[in-house]
Amino acid sequence: MTSPEFLHACCEVLGPMHVLTAPEDMAPYLTDWRGRFTGNAAAVLRPADTLQVAAIVALCAEAKVPLVPQGGNTGLVLGSVPDGAGNAVVLSLKRMNRIRAIDLVNNTITVEAGSILEEVQNAASKADRLFPLSLAAEGSCTIGGNLATNAGGTAVLRYGSMRDLCLGLEVVTADGKVWDGLRGLRKDNTGYDLRNLFIGAEGTLGIITAAVLKLFPQPRAQVTALVGLNTPEDAQRLLAMAQATCASGLTGFELMSAFSVALVARHFPQMRTGFQDAHAQYVLLEISDSESEAHATAMLEAVVEEAMEGAVVCDAVVASSIAQSRALWSLREHITLAQAAEGKHVKHDVSVPISSIAEFIGQTDTLLQRAFPGCRMVTFGHLGDGNLHYNVSAPETMADETFILHQEAINRIVHDSAVRFGGSISAEHGLGMLKRDEIRRYKSDVELGLMMAIKKALDPHQLMNPGKVL
Ligand code: FAD
Ligand code: 2HG
Ligand code: ZN
């Protein structure tokens, strides 16, 4: 247990206002976004700057108190909440939200880890630049959480995931030292890649306190289309067509199954596709263009026309206004909320080679229907990256509570299937507590051994987000 002396020392560093110990004050930090798990903590600590983080981590190292870093707490794998033991502290980075610098020649922005993603996008936009990471939780997730999970989102196809968008990091190490790696360099071959070790480590190796991120020119135009199709195979064909015509202009390619779209319409009735008839699959495409709106629209229309002529697509709408484009994206981004409103479900965040997407869906759907007849598939996601959110809701006739008891069996079918296709069981959300045991089935002893060696070297007392990832 944490001693009164330890909490007193934390108060000295942060001021008592930023050391929360009352259950009602700590509550929002202890339950995950989906409401699937509530942990326990000795305190929630809210540092204001890097030196305060370093002082707190040093105190934790001395008193052997485990630390759970937390940003917006929007993570989907139970990485940002403590376990039930009650001996850990949650370190909330949300007060650390300053934009430290923008360099318009180097095309970089330096931000603190608690900065909300949307605010970083807005700061870039004000400077006539684009920070391209985009995801439905952007109004509340933080750059630190985005980095710690190597977040993906809807523009990975063109700009890559968080690892590709970060040039430098500032990190507080497990013994309370500050590593200043805030370099804005695009080339730097000076030994081991520490930056990429901390990115995607889910807070298990150190606390990210700031980052240098890449900026891009603002596209002159962004054009969106929604198309209806019969099969995931057709969606794969459409991707090849769009890439051939638009090359790197294709910035988004999102698959949504009929049931995903129907769930959104059920729980958010104002959100509809606008098509007269329902289709088995939908794809949302986005083109970004450095020339003009007319050029972008012509390109997208050419793709849609070719796909309709080839009977790859049955129906299509190209958004004719920003409002219509936003409405189409909103439909896509409400799938997570609609499935949550529908009830408990089992999430999967798998990736397979893009060429195997359709076959993966076909085979795994069959296996799941055989084992759980009537289970409802909410299949959607970043088809352009080979990343599917292959989520399973209970059959209409089965109570959620009964269905959720089968979670392990469902995971086994889906994850074994993804791995059979050469895939991964977590393409963008990470492992957290939720997939920590699961990953041991799929990584070799050699790979797990290397990961463990890194963990031991950087966090010898196992205080950084214990029980997550490994
Ligand atoms: P948190 O949830 O607070 O933390 C996530 C992990 O990072 C935890 O392990 C935590 O300990 C660690 N961490 C947080 N801050 C730090 C830090 N400063 N230093 C070290 N470790 C830290 N993810 C995607 O990749 N793509 C999507 O499209 C996407 N869409 C989403 C849509 C919705 C509606 C929701 C709820 C989530 C979505 N996510 C998505 C998942 C989640 O939003 C992202 O993983 C996000 O990047 C997490 O940021 P956060 O600040 O909320 O992190
Ligand atoms: C998305 O792509 C997120 O919208 C969330 O990664 C996925 O709800 C999910 O399973
Ligand atoms: Zn996603």
**Ligand 1 pocket mutation, candidates 135, 197, 339, 380, criterion most atoms within 8 A of CB:** 135
Q: Kindly state the tokens that stand for 256.
A: 């949504």
Q: Answer whether 134 contacts ligand 2 (Cβ < 6 A).
A: no
Atom of ligand 1 nearest to the CA of 140: 52
Centroid of ligand 3 to alpha carbon of 376 (angstroms)? 19
Residue 46 pLDDT exceeds 80: yes
Q: Kindly indicate the confidence band of residue 320, based on its pLDDT and cuts at 50, 70 and 90.
A: confident
Centroid of ligand 2 to alpha carbon of 183 (angstroms)? 31
Centroid of ligand 3 to alpha carbon of 424 (angstroms)? 14
pLDDT tens readout for residues 353-388 = 999 999 999 999 999 999 999 999 999 999 999 999
**Ligand 2 pocket mutation, candidates 429, 434, 435, criterion most atoms within 8 A of CB:** 429
Q: Answer whether 252 contacts ligand 1 (Cβ < 6 A).
A: no
pLDDT recorded at residue 124: 98
CATH topology of domain 4-92: 3.30.43
Number of other residues whose CB lies within 10 A of the CB of residue 290: 12
Q: Answer whether 429 contacts ligand 1 (Cβ < 6 A).
A: yes
* Sequence-distant (≥ 6) Cβ neighbours of residue 19 within 8 angstroms: 7, 10, 11, 43, 44, 45, 46
Q: What average pLDDT does this structure show over 133-141?
A: 98
Residue 430 pLDDT exceeds 70: yes
Per the CB < 8 A criterion, the answer to whether 252 and 300 are in contact is: no
Residue 1 pLDDT exceeds 80: no
Centroid of ligand 2 to alpha carbon of 260 (angstroms)? 12
Domain 343-441, classified CATH 3.30.70.2740, yes or no: yes
Q: Kindly indicate the confidence band of residue 131, based on its pLDDT and cuts at 50, 70 and 90.
A: very high
Whole-number Å distance between alpha carbons of 142 and 116: 4
pLDDT recorded at residue 73: 98
Do 343-441 and 221-336 have the same topology in CATH? yes
- What residue's CA is closest to ligand 1, atom 18? 144
Radius of gyration in angstroms for the set of CA atoms belonging to the chain, rounded to a whole number: 23
Atom of ligand 2 nearest to the CA of 348: 10
Per the CB < 8 A criterion, the answer to whether 454 and 206 are in contact is: no
In this structure, what DSSP letter does residue 247 have?
G
Region 221-336: CATH code: 3.30.70.2190
Could you tell me the pTM of the whole model?
Answer: 0.98
pLDDT tens readout for residues 88-130 = 999 999 999 999 999 999 999 999 999 999 999 999 999 999 9
Ligand sitting nearest the alpha carbon of 81: 1
* Sequence-distant (≥ 6) Cβ neighbours of residue 383 within 8 angstroms: 232, 235, 236, 239, 253, 254, 255, 283, 354, 357
Atom of ligand 1 nearest to the CA of 154: 28
Helix axes 50-63, 4-14, angle to 10 degrees: 170
Atom of ligand 2 nearest to the CA of 333: 4
Ligand sitting nearest the alpha carbon of 152: 1
**Ligand 1 pocket mutation, candidates 74, 131, 150, 205, criterion most atoms within 8 A of CB:** 74
Q: What average pLDDT does this structure show over 428-456?
A: 98
For residue 393, the cross-strand partners are 345, 376
Centroid of ligand 1 to alpha carbon of 149 (angstroms)? 6
Whole-number Å distance between alpha carbons of 39 and 30: 5
- Give the residue from 400, 383, 397 showing the smallest Cα distance to 340: 400
pLDDT tens readout for residues 177-220 = 999 999 999 999 999 999 999 999 999 999 999 999 999 999 99
Q: Answer whether 168 contacts ligand 1 (Cβ < 6 A).
A: no
Number of other residues whose CB lies within 10 A of the CB of residue 38: 12
Number of other residues whose CB lies within 10 A of the CB of residue 86: 13
pLDDT recorded at residue 357: 98
- Secondary element (H or E) of residue 325: helix 322-333
Residues found in the chain: 470
Distance spanning both ends of the chain, measured CA to CA: 23
Torsion of CA 238, 241, 246, 249, to 10 degrees: 30
Whole-number Å distance between alpha carbons of 322 and 154: 17
pLDDT recorded at residue 341: 95
Q: Answer whether 73 contacts ligand 1 (Cβ < 6 A).
A: yes
pLDDT tens readout for residues 237-256 = 999 999 999 999 999 999 99
SS3 per residue for 85-141: CCCCEEEECCCCCCEEEEECCCCEEEEECCCEHHHHHHHHHHCCEECCCCCCCCCCC
Residue 385 one-letter amino acid:
D
Contacts 24+ apart (CB under 8 A), 421-425: 421/352, 421/353, 421/356, 421/359, 421/360, 422/352, 422/353, 422/356, 423/350, 423/351, 423/352, 423/353, 423/356, 423/360, 423/386, 424/350, 424/351, 425/348, 425/349, 425/350
Question: Domains of the chain: which residue ranges?
Answer: 4-92, 99-217, 221-336, 343-441
Atom of ligand 1 nearest to the CA of 430: 45
Q: Kindly indicate the confidence band of residue 396, based on its pLDDT and cuts at 50, 70 and 90.
A: very high
Instruction: Give the count of alpha carbons within 13 A of 78, CB side only.
Output: 19
Per the CB < 8 A criterion, the answer to whether 257 and 380 are in contact is: yes
Q: Kindly indicate the confidence band of residue 2, based on its pLDDT and cuts at 50, 70 and 90.
A: confident
Phi, psi for residue 399 in degrees, rounded to 5: -65, 145
Centroid of ligand 2 to alpha carbon of 328 (angstroms)? 16
State in words which class domain 99-217 has.
alpha beta
Per the CB < 8 A criterion, the answer to whether 238 and 313 are in contact is: yes
Whole-number Å distance between alpha carbons of 203 and 89: 13
Number of other residues whose CB lies within 10 A of the CB of residue 253: 24
Per the CB < 8 A criterion, the answer to whether 143 and 111 are in contact is: yes
Centroid of ligand 1 to alpha carbon of 17 (angstroms)? 26
